[in-house]
Amino acid sequence: MPKSIYSKNYKNVLEKLKKARLNTNLKQEDVALKLNKPQSYISKVERGERRIDITELNELAKIYKKEINFFVE
């Protein structure tokens, strides 16, 4: 499995994304459907294999019912 090449701060964002998804009782497939993306997209984001931009983070925050600041604090 490839290692993430991103900073510790970005890894913290990814951990918060995964925890937020689990706390809302959503599967990766559920989130992917809401975003009109394949399940592998969510998997790669959570593993750090695909970097997301601010727009994608905002969409995920809406799905998880969190303020975007939650993920970047």
**What CATH number should be reported for the domain whose range is 8-72?**
1.10.260.40
Tokens of 14: 């990814």
CB 67 within 8 A of CB 24: no
- Per-residue pLDDT for the chain (73 aa), expressed as one digit of tens each? 556 567 888 999 999 999 999 999 999 999 999 999 999 999 999 999 999 999 999 999 999 999 999 998 8
Of 16, 12, 27, nearest to 66 (Cα)? 16
Q: What is the Cα 64 distance to its own chain's centre? A: 10
- pTM for the model stands at 0.86
Tokens of 4: 């993430």
